[in-house]
Amino acid sequence: MSVLATLPNPDPSAPATDLVVSLPDFTSAAYKDAYSRINGIVIEGEHEACDNYKAISTLLPEQAEELGRLARMEMKHMRGFQACGRNLQVTPDMDFAKNFFAPLRNNFQAALAEGKVATCLLIQAILIEAFSIAAYHIYIPVADPFARRVTEGVVKDEYLHLNYGQEWLKAHFDEVKDEIMTANKANLPLIKAMLDAVETDAAQLRMEKEGLIEDFLIGYQEALGDVGFTTREVIRMSARGLG
Ligand code: PL3
Ligand code: FE2
Ligand code: FE2
């Protein structure tokens, strides 16, 4: 279905069939209204990701160069998504977006103040990156051509960011295992709440919540397994937040 959805809409006046997923009308008021919030969310998310990698580098000064590179990529992503909004003549709703991220941002800031590197990495490099990879994947087949190109470029970088978090947590697994479990318990429910909050607007963009959840869980569970958790622990941890 997602492969078919990547094909150009053959004939907009033809009756819809089960097999062809037509693209949304990017110029409709309903689309632009939903896009103002989703576009705000991704712009804010990329901006906060940039700040978060810079903040993590204060805890890991020996990694400052690598983390600085990641932060600069996030800034580039932010500019790309700003261009997507401008291209559709949509003004991103940044107040909505700041509220959307507030609970997760607060938890990140609290962990940062306590010097909890593993918690910071779980929130930014694993949870947020896995969430963004899922969202961008589901968005690409139903995006306008300009945003599709931008998002395809962005999603490649997000894998590098997820991988960065995985590698650090894997290398320190024995010392940080319990901290990761605690951080999962506190933060995975926030990701679920964010998915719920974006559901209606995402549907307007033809992005389905089930697909978002599936894609997110696949990425998140793979990451936890790679970091060192057993299958049973991974299942137990994901059952904590997403029901
Ligand atoms: C870190 O690199 C990125 C953080 C961004 C978070 C994105 C959350 C996405 C939420 C739902 C979105 C729909 C995607 C649409 C893309 C324009
Ligand atoms: Fe990004
Ligand atoms: Fe990222």
pLDDT 10s digits, 108-138: 999 999 999 999 999 999 999 999 999 999 9
Whether residue 69 contacts residue 128, with contact meaning beta carbons closer than 8 Å, is answered with no
Angle at 105 between CA 81 and CA 71, to 5 degrees: 50
CA of 11 to the centre of ligand 1 (A): 30
Whether residue 5 contacts residue 142, with contact meaning beta carbons closer than 8 Å, is answered with yes
Four-CA torsion 169, 171, 172, 174, nearest 10 degrees:
110
Whether 142 is in the pocket of ligand 1, judged by its Cβ within 6 Å, is no
CA of 238 to the centre of ligand 1 (A): 20
Whether 131 is in the pocket of ligand 1, judged by its Cβ within 6 Å, is yes
Say if residue 243's pLDDT is above 90. Answer: no
Whether 38 is in the pocket of ligand 1, judged by its Cβ within 6 Å, is yes
Which residue shows structure tokens 């690598």? 66
pLDDT for 5 equals: 43
Residue 32 tokens read as 């632009």
Whether residue 159 contacts residue 86, with contact meaning beta carbons closer than 8 Å, is answered with no
Q: What does the pLDDT look like over 180-228, one tens digit per residue?
A: 999 999 999 999 999 999 999 999 999 999 999 999 999 999 999 999 9
Whether 132 is in the pocket of ligand 1, judged by its Cβ within 6 Å, is yes
User: How far, in Å, CA of 43 to CA of 27, rounded?
Assistant: 20
Q: What does the pLDDT look like over 15-25, one tens digit per residue?
A: 444 445 689 99
Whether 46 is in the pocket of ligand 1, judged by its Cβ within 6 Å, is yes
Q: Which atom of ligand 1 is nearest to the CA of 198?
A: 11
**Among the bound ligands, the one closest to the CA of 48:** 1
Instruction: Dump the DSSP string for 21-73.
Output: -PPP-TTSHHHHHHHHHHHHHHHHHHHHHHHHHHHHHHH-GGGHHHHHHHHHH
Given its phi and psi angles, is residue 217 left (phi above 0), alpha (psi -120 to 50 degrees) or beta?
Answer: alpha
Whether residue 50 contacts residue 101, with contact meaning beta carbons closer than 8 Å, is answered with no
Whether residue 166 contacts residue 103, with contact meaning beta carbons closer than 8 Å, is answered with no
Q: Calculate the average pLDDT of the chain.
A: 93
